[in-house]
């Protein structure tokens, strides 16, 4: 009888720990991205290629709500001509939800920056995405 009571107490104490462990999950990854950019600045059109390296991560709460983040940085070189190389930075932070197990929605800012000797070009977009899996 004492063993059964001790087992029940141990299970009762372990259950909240197991539930707490299921509430929060996280994922982190390192990424390399090949980029091809078509840049238009006034009458000037440039084609640039290069690679950016960085990482992304996701924090998952109750398997339904997510915070997705990513950051990459690299150098783009012109495909032709004598234009200067450009540093490129890209990042995002988006809040997501899974209203159903197979529907995934997320929204948030996505920003890019291209830096060269001529100046900095910035792009900012409020991005919304939907995925069915």
Q: Is residue 16 part of a domain?
A: no
Q: Is residue 9 part of a domain?
A: no
Distance CA 107, CA 37 (A): 24
Beta-sheet strands, E only, within the chain: 24-41, 44-61, 65-78, 86-100, 103-116, 119-132
Q: Is residue 12 part of a domain?
A: no
Q: Is residue 76 part of a domain?
A: yes
pLDDT of residue 53: 96
Q: Is residue 15 part of a domain?
A: no
2's tokens = 């004492």
Q: Is residue 1 part of a domain?
A: no
* Model confidence, pTM: 0.69
Q: The domain containing residue 93 runs over which residues?
A: 24-132
Which residues of the chain fall below pLDDT 70?
1-22, 117
Q: How many domains does the chain have?
A: 1
């Amino acid at each position: 009888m004492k063993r059964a009571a001790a087992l029940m107490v141990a299970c009762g104490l372990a259950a909240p720990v197991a539930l707490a462990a299921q509430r929060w999950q996280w994922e982190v990854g390192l990424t390399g991205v090949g980029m091809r950019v078509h840049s238009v600045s006034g009458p000037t059109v440039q084609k640039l290629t290069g690679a950016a390296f960085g990482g992304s991560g996701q924090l998952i709460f109750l398997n339904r709500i997510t915070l997705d983040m990513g950051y990459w940085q690299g150098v783009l070189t012109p495909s032709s001509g004598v234009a200067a190389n450009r540093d490129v930075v890209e990042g995002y932070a988006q809040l997501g939800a899974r209203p159903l197990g197979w529907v995934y929605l997320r929204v948030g800012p996505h920003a890019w920056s291209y830096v060269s000797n001529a100046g900095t070009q910035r792009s900012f977009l409020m991005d919304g995405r939907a995925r069915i899996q």
